[in-house]
Amino acid sequence: GTLAGVPLALKDVFTTAGIPTTAGSKILEGWRPPYDAALVERLRAADIVILGKTNCDEFAMGSSTENSAYGPTHNPWDETRIPGGSGGGSSAALAAHFAPLAIGTDTGGSIRQPAAVTGTVGVKPTYGGVSRYGLIACASSLDQGGPCARNVLDAALLHEVIAGHDPRDATSIDQAVPAVVEAARRREIGGMRIGVVREFAGEGYEPGVLASVRAAIDVLTELGADVVEVSCPSFTYALPAYYLILPSEVSSNLARFDAMRFGLRVGDDGTHSAEEVMAMTRGAGFGPEVKRRIILGTYALSSGYFDAYYGQAQKVRTLIARDFAAAFDQVDVLVSPTTPTTAFPLGERADDPLAMYLADLCTIPANLAGNAAMSLPVGLSDGLPVGLQVMAPVLADDRIYRVAGALEQALDDRRGHALLEKAPTL
């Protein structure tokens, strides 16, 4: 294939036969899966060289890669700052020039937010576009694997390799993969209609982030796109809805880590019952954020609260999908900042879950609705990268590549170099 021999860094949430797979958790320490994930099979079939597994927040829960049982990952632009999360290991590997390609997964922004804060490109394909077979589940209705790269065309080439139908994943879409490579090569957006999401600006957004995003949107206009403002009112409720739906699925999915079948086992000395071994193992094996989400989810699903919380959150999800549908009646793609701030310092939000969750404010709607979305680097704010998010309808992944390919070239031409070339050397 086109990418034969190219090295790739793989987020450690995909099973790799005979190679340890931890999902960033102590509970899976030493576990060697007996099989390859579908995505890994596709990488191997394309003769891509898997360099190794990258660090991530435990079970992909987090926005800073500080929740890994194996220590935090640092941002190559400024090693005192976070590389984003949960896929910070993959974004850092790209920015540090350890590998030209990487794989991430995106449940609420875990590909796009790390890409934004490291000056790299990250794509969340349409939900069902890339097989989840062999992906260690966080929230099954939201998780999606996707390509990470240093430029738009590389991401498209990788996207083409990993996408496609897989009968082993019940949510896999049985349709042709959108023509992403062709779209990335077009470099032309004349006449395309682009909507700027009104709700993603204002309080909580750093002025430098908004300035870089505005400048990029002006370039889209200069390139011949028709740019309009679009309102998606329900996006305001995306974060609270997500933090009911996601923990509910987490509490269910993570029940399988029970000390009986694989991974860590604590207290199995003949003096403890099976229930005690389970409880001790889960107590020792899961980190605080994972425990927090299991507890939240178990509560949201409990009798008497299910309708009030989980049921209501699913209604909000429907409203968000309707807002997207209404917007895409008017425009071809939507754009917004990828995340409200640049990379924040390591430790700054570690003890403040809500502040951490706000990093995914702009990325969550696309997960709830299943749309395709990308982050691409558009500038710097105080020397740190800023990402622009481009969102497209389900199975219109090619549109994000068309817009991003044209914008990336225009910005690189104006700058005289790619953004990453000016990253501080490690």
Report, as residue numbers or ranges, the catalytic residues.
Answer: 11, 86, 110
Query: Beta 193-197 vs 333-337: how paired, if at all?
Result: parallel
What number of other Cβ atoms are within 10 A of residue 383's Cβ?
Answer: 12
Question: Of 391, 392, 408, nearest to 150 (Cα)?
Answer: 408
78 CA to centre of own chain = 21
Is 242 in contact with 366 (CB distance < 8 Å)?
A: no
Q: What is the dihedral of CA 338, 73, 71, 344, to 10 degrees?
A: -50
**Interatomic CA distance for residues 317 and 321, integer angstroms:** 6
Distance, C-alpha 122 to centroid of its chain = 8
Q: What is the largest CA-CA distance in the chain?
A: 73
CB of 147 closer than 8 Å to CB of 158 = yes
| Burial status of residue 215 (CB atoms within 10 A of its CB: 0-12, 13-18, 19 or more) | middle
Contact 64, 346 (CB under 8 A): yes
Task: Give me the residue label for tokens 């206009």.
Answer: 221
Distance CA 221, CA 233 (A): 24
Q: Give the span between the Cα atoms of 347 and 325, in whole angstroms.
A: 39
Give the strand pairing for 121-124 and 145-149: antiparallel
Nearest residue to 61 (alpha-carbon basis) of 95, 14, 13? 13
Q: Which residue in this structure is represented by tokens 């450690």?
A: 12
DSSP 151: S
Cα 275 to Cα 255: distance, rounded to the nearest angstrom = 13
Q: Which letter, b or e, does each residue of 254-292 get, where b requires 16 or more Cβ atoms within 10 Å of its Cβ?
A: beebbbeebbbbbbeeeeeeeeebbbbbbeebbbebbee
Determine how many CB atoms are found less than 10 A away from the CB of residue 415.
Answer: 12
